Amino acid sequence: MSYGGGKATADDGASISSRREGKEKQAWIVFKNEIIRLAHTLRLKGWRRVPLESGEIISVERLSGALTNAVYVVSPPAESVLPPAEGKKQPPKVLLRIYGPQVEHLIDRETELGVLRRLARKKIGPRLLGTFLNGRFEQYFNSTTLTPANLREPETSKQIAKRMRELHDGVDLLKEEKDQGPSVWCNWDKWLNQAEKTVLYLDKQVLSGSKAPIRSPRDAWKERGFVCGVEWHVFRSTIEKYRKFLLDHYGSAQKVRERLVFAHNDVSSVEIHVSHGSRF
């Protein structure tokens, strides 16, 4: 066995890179096998035709743009690859959403799933196909994400406005939702204490000039200064004044309750689709 004094040769580097690629490929196959196992367990329509431990024959593509989840499009193998099954249709593409870690204190999953089902019944959002501990399968829409230029197109804007109107007027709020009041304030009250601790800590770093180095895009706020644009006490005071202004404007909490509607901020991670197949 030769020894090069600790200095890696080009062949050594290629070998290490090859081993790393092999491990990544194997981990990806394991991940895809787990997707097939879940599809079998949840009895996703048509997916039991795909054999277990056959992850190498399905396609899994990650989508960008999700905030707290990892989202994948899962495509079945070509029909010629599947075992023959008389009268059976090709399994459909599905959307796989894996929940991000440490966000359960921010997102009420049961409420989110309830909203998803309600929208699906109105044919506004995708159908919920199955859930598991840290994620879910949804109906997949063949669509493209709208760009800022798309949003400015008159016909597209009309379609978006139409879908928003369907949300506001077509989905009734439950009695308990009305009794709770505006969801934005429910979330504010629920998150306030934890958010305040975090923002005060970060504000202190800004004021002391001891901000940590910028290592990734998620650190971009350090260049802008305060997380909320101003010091926390100013931001919180402004929110409280605005909340009081709204209550005074409508006259009472009961009158606010009467004006509540289901709105796009209630949709959370559910995607709304306009008629020509775009996604926003």
Q: pLDDT of 151-199, one tens digit each?
A: 899 999 898 888 888 888 888 888 988 998 998 898 899 889 989 998 9
Q: What is the model's pLDDT at position 83?
A: 74
Q: pLDDT of 54-104, one tens digit each?
A: 999 999 999 876 667 889 999 999 887 887 777 788 899 999 999 877 666
Residue 110 banded pLDDT, cuts 50, 70, 90: confident
Q: What is the model's pLDDT at position 191?
A: 87
Q: Per the structure block, which two tokens stand in for 19?
A: 């081993």
Alpha helix ranges (H) inside 93-225: 109-121, 148-151, 154-170, 175-180, 183-208, 221-224
Specify the amino acid at residue 98.
I
Residue, of 174 and 35, whose pLDDT is higher: 35
In angstroms, rounded to a whole number, what is the distance separating the alpha carbons of residues 279 and 207?
41
In angstroms, rounded to a whole number, what is the distance separating the alpha carbons of residues 55 and 279?
28
What value does the mean pLDDT take over residues 5-24?
63
pTM: 0.71
In angstroms, rounded to a whole number, what is the distance separating the alpha carbons of residues 72 and 180?
34
- The domains located in the chain, with CATH, are 10-145 (3.30.200.20), 148-279 (no CATH)
In angstroms, rounded to a whole number, what is the distance separating the alpha carbons of residues 187 and 172?
20
DSSP H or E stretch at residue 95: strand 94-99
Q: What is the model's pLDDT at position 278?
A: 39
Q: Is residue 27's pLDDT more than 80?
A: yes
Q: pLDDT of 214-266, one tens digit each?
A: 677 666 666 777 888 899 999 999 999 999 999 999 999 999 999 998 876 65
Q: Per the structure block, which two tokens stand in for 146?
A: 């709208």
Q: What is the model's pLDDT at position 2?
A: 31
Residue burial 18-53, b: 16+ Cβ < 10 Å; e: rest: eeeeeeeeeeeeeebbebbebbeeeebebbbbbeee
Residue, of 212 and 76, whose pLDDT is higher: 76
Q: What is the model's pLDDT at position 171?
A: 85
CB distance 112 to 73 below 8 Å: no
Residue 7 banded pLDDT, cuts 50, 70, 90: very low
**Average pLDDT over the chain, rounded to an integer:** 82
Q: What is the model's pLDDT at position 221?
A: 65
Residues 6+ apart with CB under 8 A from 202: 221, 226, 227
